[in-house]
Structure 1
């Protein structure tokens, strides 16, 4: 398994990348200067979904009982909490850091290594965060919309955040090989379960739309802006103006 070390990333490349992300969105609200390349990767990802991801997720959802799939997804979520706490601290959201630490301790113990989620019923609901949000709170613009191979829709800021989250992941540093690879396996299992549970929604969005690429782009950006409190088409500084509900929450959670 490839491990990323944040401190080995070239400072010059990071500064250049952040400078690009700081550029304001283009007129019209959607900054997509790489559309031709993005569409190519979108088509490749859809072909991969048809050929591999959908059959695997269908088999997983059919063979593995629902309680076990849900339990494995809970374990994956629990193992991701320490990384969330790191971002809470970097954002100086100390209340969320304490909340998420308590959630981790409860689910890791009472929840039997995270198989169950008693923390939510105790008022310790999930409060997710990532380094993309950390960059947003630090004033870094989201940059252009990009489609990543396999991973799918993102932005320049969130793509960098994804790499840094991998580098900063406490679980990955605490456990060596092969233990650290178990987390990756659990994450894949959760994604397969999500793909199976929301198969109709995903396929209506990507397969049945007149322009699946444009629909996926709008869906991702709308959901991301909702999570950050910035409605689509607005600058990142426009806090607290998101729509009152998130119609894509189930699909992207």
Structure 2
């Protein structure tokens, strides 16, 4: 296990916050209002903490609306598309070590080879990952994390949770996040302070900026849409693209193919 360092851990969690809050970011107009305070929520066995989750969602959404999104929007405005794409490619390349490790844990030999090949080709021929030459060479990314590894070996997802700052999650997903952050090898281990902090900050802003176009997909009740999108996406990843069951299929018409 890697040595725990809260100073290095915190920016990583902020990155996850950027992704989570970005997934919950929406335009305020033309959206349904959540139930009023004290109004009974419909029971849902797959979301037993919905009352609490909705309150946390509102808190996260406020932080994103007043801080994270404006910064990301400014970054998106001043950064040329080719530079933005290069920054995104660079950080995506760093995740290939995680993809490789978890592919091995799941006994997915082909995916492990693809992850190793992507990291090697993009690092050597893509100028440190700035250019995604691996995808051009028919080696598309196969994302794998420890939450997927737990699911592969039969660990149940648990109830849906909306975590403060961290956004949509489940007990299995959060356990996987912690394992990827603290125990598994990462390309970030080779980066020393203070450059580590500068890069993490850039990664947070870049990720949030890349999520801004996806906001146009959100419709209806914000909370319900985000919950369904998150759970469908996690099932899609854990089952390697095969959706076996959607407990919220009747809530709205969102489908993964919309992305």
Correspondent of 1:231 among 235, 244, 250: 244
2:148 is aligned with 1:114: no
Contact 1:71/1:116, CA 8 A, preserved across alignment: yes
Residue of structure 2 equivalent to 1:85 = 100
Q: What is the CA–CA distance in structure 2 between the aligned matches of 1:232 and 1:186, rounded to whole Å?
A: 37
Cα deviation digits, residues 225-245 of structure 1 (max 9, x gap)? 2222343447xxxxxxxxxx8
Of the three residues 112, 120, 123, the one matched with 1:105 is 120
Counterpart CA distance in 2 for 1:34 and 1:70 is 38
The answer for unaligned runs of 5 or more in structure 2 is 1-6, 11-42, 248-254
Output the CA distance in 1 between the equivalents of 2:167 and 2:67.
15
Partner residue of 1:51? Answer: 66
1:35-74 paired onto structure 2 within 5 Å: 35-74=50-89
CA distance in 2, matches of 1:94, 1:181: 34
Where does residue 212 of structure 2 map in the other structure?
196
1:248 and 1:77 mapped to 2: Cα distance? Answer: 22
Q: What does residue range 154-169 of structure 1 map to in structure 2 within 5 Å?
A: 154-167=169-182, 168-169=184-185
2:60–2:165 CA contact under 8 A, matched in 1: yes
Distance 1:199 1:62, change over 3 A: farther
1:185 aligns with 2:201: yes
Where 1:153 maps in the other structure, the secondary structure is strand
Contact 1:61-1:196 within 8 A present in 2 as well: no
Give me the TM-score of the superposition, normalised by structure 2: 0.74
Instruction: Judge conservation of contact 1:72–1:115 (CA < 8 Å) in 2.
Output: yes
Q: TM-score, normalised by structure 1?
A: 0.75
Distance (whole Å) between structure 1 residues aligned to residue 128 and residue 180 of structure 2? 22
RMSD: 2.2
1:182 Cα offset (Å): 4.8
Match of 1:132 in 2: 147
Q: Which runs of 5+ in 1 are unaligned?
A: 5-27, 235-244
CA contact (8 A) 2:146 2:176 kept: yes
- The aligned residue for residue 16 of structure 1 is none
Contact 2:98-2:180 at 8 Å conserved across structures? yes
Structure 1 residues 123-132 or 219-228, which shifts more?
219-228
